[in-house]
Every structure is written in C-alpha cells, then in structure tokens.
Structure 1
C-alpha cells in the first residue's frame, strides 16, 4: 500500500494542510490587527493633540474677554509708580543741589526733613505697585500656558481663589461669595483644573450679566463628604431651559452670540473630569439660575491644608 492509499497518511496530510492554512490566516490577521492598532494609536494621539489645541484656544478666547480689565488692573499701579518715580527724580535733583551748596550755605532743614519722610512712603508704594503688576503677569502666564504635565497633589481652594483673581475684571457688580471648608488635596493636572474652574466660573458670570432686573450673585462652596470633595458653583443668572441643559456638554453647541464662545468649553470640561475620575451634575431653571456640582476623589495621600 502506497502512502497515497494509506488513509492515515491522507488524513495526516489533510490535517497538516489545514493547520498551515490556519497558521497563515492567523499570521495575516495578526499583521492586520497590528497595523490597525498602530493606526488607532495614531488617531488617539491626534485626538489628544486636537483636544489640547482646543483647550488652549478656549483659554486664549477667555483671556481675550478679560484683556481690557487686566490692562486696567495693570494701569492703576503703573500710574502711581510713574508719579512716584518723577517725585523721586525731583528729590534726587534737590538733594544734589543741597549737597553742592552745603559748603557755602546751610541746608534747608525743613525741605530735607520732608524729603526724608516722603522717600520711605514713595519707595514702599512703588514696590507694592510693582509686586501687584508682577502678580497679575504671573497669573496670566500660568493660566495661559500649555500644561501637558501629569497629575499632582493640588489644593483646590487655592485653585478656586486663583481663578477668581484672574477673572475678577469680568465680575463687575456681581457679588462673589465663598464658603470654603478645609478639605484634603486632590490629584489633578493643575493646568486642566484651571481650565475646568475657568469655564464654570466664567459661565456663571456671563449668565449673571444676561440678567439686569436683579442684583447678581455667585456662591462658590467647597465641602467634603466621605471620599469625595464637592465643589458647588451657584448663580442667580438667566438659567437654562431643558433643551439647552440637555445639550450643554455637546461639542460646538452654544447659545452665546458669535464671537463670544467657541462651544467647546463644557465638552472639554466633561472630558477632563472623566479623565480624573470626577463627576459633574448640573441643575438649572430658566430665569432663575444654575447650580453646578463637581465631585472630586480625594488624593489617596490624604494630605490636608487647614483653611
């Protein structure tokens, strides 16, 4: 009996061929899967880059809305710094004249005493003004930066105060109330936390600006409940109807006039919060106001700063 006539040999060959076909199919599938994984990773990287670009665009758009106010904040200390420098220049000239004339005639003691007393105050005021300008510039630079660093322990109360300071020019006559409790630190990307707080607080300000028949108020409350830290921002602004509330996290959806909003702010906020294990809940009623509640997980290190 030849091999071709042996049923066992025929079955063996048939199985061998089938196994080779499966191996070739598996190899081809593995290669396709690898190529698709590479393509998927490229798309993920592209989406992340686009997200960072959108975040930066939203930051710059928001900074543009407060540019005039910030310029006013800088101009105030600049004005008295320039005035003080002019006075200091005059005093220096007077002192030089007194020194040159000291050998020939008595120094004007009354004028000298006035200069001595005023020099200290002028110097102190000038330093305070310069520190104020430095503080404003540092806040702007920190907020406008592209922050791609990882998570770190962040004091939420400090971040809230930072956001309120940088956007203070937007508030106008809006009353900002703070109810801040001592809470543990959270684990968050500092730059992205600024982005979240900016959108929530700026939206509250703009909602209040849309209402003129009553005094405007925003309440920022920070509390802890078990393993969660709750940030609540409440305003008595224009509020939202059910349709707008249901779409507020949709990308590029906005009710603001052209040129005043990109429509991506809250969708970015939602993505950032989800990436950090946070949740957000929004309640709103048209013509009555809005309440935004964000729940942050506590930093496992449990480090706490007393308020």
Structure 2
C-alpha cells in the first residue's frame, strides 16, 4: 500500500495542512492585532494631546479672569518703584553736580542730611516693589506651566497659599477665613494641583459676586486624618439647584454669562482628581452657598 492510500499518511497530511492553516491564521491575527494596537496607541496619544490642549485652554481662560486683578497688583508696586527711581535720579543728579562743580554747590547741609536719610529707604522700597512684581509674574508662570506629566511631592498648604496669592485682588471684598494645618506631602503634578485649587476658589468667588446684597464669606479648612488630607472650601454665595449639581461636571456646561466661563473647569477638575485617585464632594443649596470637599489619599509608602 503506497503512501497516498495509507490512512495514517492521509491523516498526517490532513493534520499538517490544518496546522499550517492554524499557524497562518494565528500569524494573520497577530499581524492585525499589532496593527490595531499601534493604531490604538496613536489614537490614545492624540486624545492625550487633545486633553492637554483643553486643559491649557482652560488655564488661559482662568488667567483671563485674573488678568485685571493681576494688572492692578503689578501697577501698585510699579507706580512707587517709578516714583522712587525718579526721586533717586534727582538726588543723584544733585550730588553728582555738587561733586563735579563744588564751587557752584548750592545744596544746603539740611538738604544733604535729608538725602542721606531718604536714600536707604528709597532703595529698600524699590527693591521690595520689584520683588513683589517678580513674585506675581513667577506665580503666574508657575500656574501656566505646561509640564503636566511631571509628578512631585507637593505640600498642599503651600499650593493653597500660592492660589490665594494669585487670587488676592479678587478676594479683597471677601471675608476670607483660613485654618490651614501642616499636612503630609502628596504626589501630584504641581500645575494640575494649582489648576484644581484655582478653579474651585474662582467658582466660590464668582458665586459670592452673584449675591452682592450679602457680605461675601469664604472659609478654607485644611486638615488630615489617618488616611486622607481633607480640603474644604465653603462659600455663602448663590449656591446651585439640583439640576446644576447633576450637570456641573459635564463638559461645556456653564451657568455663567457668555464670555465669563468655558464650562470646562469642573470637568477638568474631576478628570485631574480621578487621575490622582482623589475624591471630590460638592454640597450646595440655592441662595445659601456651596461646600466643596476634596480628599487626597495619604501614601502608605
């Protein structure tokens, strides 16, 4: 009996053919899976870039709401720096003229004494004014930074104090009370943490501005227990109804007038907090106020 008619040979060839077909099918499936995986990676990267773009746009929108107040904060120290420099320039001209032309010196001894006393104070005030401007610009740049992938150990109290400094001009008509305990550091992206805090505080300020008939009050409480750092921001502003509460995290949903809100603030806040395994709870009552509670898990490492 030849091989062609041998049942064992026929079975062997059938199995060999089936094995080849399975191997080819597996190879084809692997190749398709690889292509789909690469496409998925590209789409994921594109989505991450789009998210980053949206986050940055929201930052710029927030900076826009701060612009007028920041400009005022810079103008104040800038005004007395310019005034001091003018005075220093005048004093310097008089002293140089007296030194170059001693025969024409008409500076009275009392004037020289006054200049000597005034000079150090003018220099000190000018340095303080320039330092204030430098700090304002540095804080703005720190808030606007785009390195969202960098994580570091953050002191929440320091980040909160920075946010309150940035918002200082908008808080001038608000009774701000603070109880900020020194808490454990948390792993967080610095720019994203600033954005979360700024967004929530701006919402509280704008809610208070919506009720001009009431004395605006915002209370900030920072504490820690065995498992979480807890930040509570409470305002006595306009509050929210049930519908607004259920939609507050929806992208592009806003109750603010056109041009004053993007509707992305709380959506981004929720996204950032979820990425860092944090929790947010919002309790609000219309015409009474809002309480926002953030919980940051304490690392067990």
Q: Normalising by structure 2, report the TM-score.
A: 0.95
Q: What is the match of residue 37 of structure 2?
A: 37
Aligned-pair distance for 1:33?
1.0
User: What are the equivalent positions in structure 2 for 1:43-192 lying under 5 Å apart?
Assistant: 43-102=43-102, 108-192=108-192
For residues 2-42 of structure 1, give each alpha carbon's deviation from its aligned partner in whole angstroms, at most 9, with x where no partner exists: 32332222222222222222111111111111111111111
- After superposition, the C-alpha distances for 1:77-98 in whole angstroms (9 at most, x for unaligned) are 1111111111112211222333
| Aligned 8 A contact 1:239 1:285 in 2 | yes
Q: Does 1:20 align with 2:20?
A: yes
The 1-side partners of 2:261 and 2:289 are apart by 20
**Alignment partner of 1:217 is 2:217:** yes
Q: Distance in 2 between matches of 1:103 and 1:60?
A: 61
2:233 aligned partner: 233
Structure with more contact order per residue of length (Cα contacts < 8 Å, sep ≥ 6): 1
- List gaps (5 residues or longer) in structure 1: 302-307
Structure 1 counterpart SS, 2:148 = coil
For residues 120-179 of structure 1, the C-alpha deviation after alignment (integer angstroms, 9 at most, x for no partner) is 111111111111111111111111121234211111000001011112222241122111
Superposed displacement of residue 106, structure 1: 8.5
Contact 1:232-1:293 within 8 A present in 2 as well? yes
Query: What RMSD in Å do the two structures reach over aligned CA positions?
Result: 1.7
- SS state at 1:126 partner: helix
Q: Report the 3-state secondary structure (helix = DSSP H, G, I; strand = E; otherwise coil) of the residue aligned with 2:219.
A: strand
Corresponding position of 1:242? 242
- Alignment CA distance shift 1:288-1:20 (3 Å): same
**CA deviation digits over 1:243-273, x for unaligned, max 9?**
1111111111111122111111111111111
| Maintained 8 Å contact 2:98/2:104 | no
- 2: CA distance, partners of 1:223 / 1:183: 7
* TM-score, structure 1 normalization: 0.93
Q: Which moved more, 1:241-250 or 1:142-151?
A: 142-151
Q: Gaps (5+ residues) in structure 2?
A: none
Note closer, same or farther for the CA distance 1:104–1:34 as it changes in structure 2 (3 Å cut): closer
Secondary structure at 1:182 match in 2: coil
Would the alpha carbon gap of residues 151 and 10 (structure 1) be closer, same or farther in structure 2, given more than 3 Å must change?
Answer: same
Instruction: Output the CA distance in 1 between the equivalents of 2:231 and 2:263.
Output: 23
Count of residue pairs brought into register by the alignment: 301
Offset at 1:187? 0.5
